[in-house]
Structure 1
């Protein structure tokens, strides 16, 4: 099983929206997916309540000591991908999520405040020896701010592609309990999320042996 965590101490970076969007995009490829909500704000739980599709499976987690057992149970149930949505702070639960993950995504909007706020998360991830990438989120349609922010983040570490634009489809989908690829499959937002999922999927499977990839495909 692969484990992906969305982490940053900055609120409003779009972690929950990205988590649901990526989960549904992965499901669109036939993957068995679970979401772990490690954020007391409850955005994903509320999204799940509005959702008519029983999948992806959503688990709420408040105790850092339970995360390892929960991940083991999900793997035993045949889940191919677990996505952890963490709180907007470097608390104990977020740190345990980083420990248990295969890959971390650090969302950041193209603002100096977001980029500065990403640095403590980056330090924690590097200290724990986890693989990571920044993802530039909620980008405006034009202006030099995006390219400047992308250059700044790229200088700090790996930058995921593509950038995710600030588009109403994301919030409309969240409000209906949908992934953006379900809400507007032909839209630009869906195209970006599918492309981002493709990039993330490559990172998750990079370095696996041929036998391991065959096993993962068999359970997906």
Structure 2
């Protein structure tokens, strides 16, 4: 099982919406996925209450129980666990980063968001945790100068998920309906962007696995290929 933690130190970046939509897209691609909500605001849990489908499961738990719940999910043959964390520096975020195989840092194309991410980046670098920024809520209409400038700044700070996500109403509407964007508007641009992020993440995890296997043959279990 692969563990992906969404971590930011600034609220309003669309972290929870991305986490649940990514989990939905993973389920649609044949993966057994769950979301662990350790954010006291419980956005993912409230989304699940509005949902009629059972998958992906959402578990709202205290951060201190994260390790044991992840172990249980692994025993239940889950492929992917996505951890949604508070938008602030906290024990919860630190625990999520410690447990993760990979961390996503959603940021908007703004100086404030980029500057707020620096303590998280320091922690991840100090603990040798693979991570990437994912640019979210970007202006629509292609890569604007603001988006391009943000991409360049983030590339200097660390890894960057190549697909970006535009500021689209589908994300807000899907969250309100208890759906992922790939369910709410399957042929919309927001859905295409989420699928692109999932594809990028899958490829990145497989490259990390290949590196681990080269270092210690047979020591890593790759995420099943996305069809």
Same fold (TM over 0.5): yes
Deviations 1:83-136 (CA, angstroms, capped at 9, x unpaired): 000001120111011000000000100011000001111111111210000001
TM-score normalised by the chain length of structure 2: 0.91
Paired residues in the alignment total 217
Alignment-derived partner of residue 87 in structure 1: 86
The alpha-carbon distance between structure 1 residues 212 and 167, as it changes in their structure 2 partners (threshold 3 A), is: farther
| Residues 104-113 or 121-130, more deviating | 121-130
Structure 2 residues without counterparts, runs of 5 or longer:
none
Q: CA RMSD in A?
A: 1.7
Answer yes or no: is 1:183 the counterpart of 2:184. yes
Greater fraction strand = 1
* Superposition deviation, residue 217 in structure 1: 3.5
Asked whether the 8 Å contact 1:205–1:213 carries over to 2, the reply is no
The alpha-carbon distance between structure 1 residues 78 and 150, as it changes in their structure 2 partners (threshold 3 A), is: same
Asked whether the 8 Å contact 1:103–1:130 carries over to 2, the reply is yes
Structure 1 residues without counterparts, runs of 5 or longer:
none
Answer yes or no: is 1:198 the counterpart of 2:199. yes
* Superposition deviation, residue 214 in structure 1: 7.7
Asked whether the 8 Å contact 2:63–2:95 carries over to 1, the reply is no
TM-score normalised by the chain length of structure 1: 0.94
The alpha-carbon distance between structure 1 residues 213 and 131, as it changes in their structure 2 partners (threshold 3 A), is: closer
Q: Distance in 1 between matches of 2:120 and 2:197?
A: 21
2:159 alignment partner, SS class: coil
* Superposition deviation, residue 207 in structure 1: 3.7
| Residues 183-192 or 54-63, more deviating | 54-63
Structure 1 segment 1-220 matched on structure 2, within 5 A = 1-64=1-64, 66-142=65-141, 143-208=144-209, 209=213, 216-217=223-224
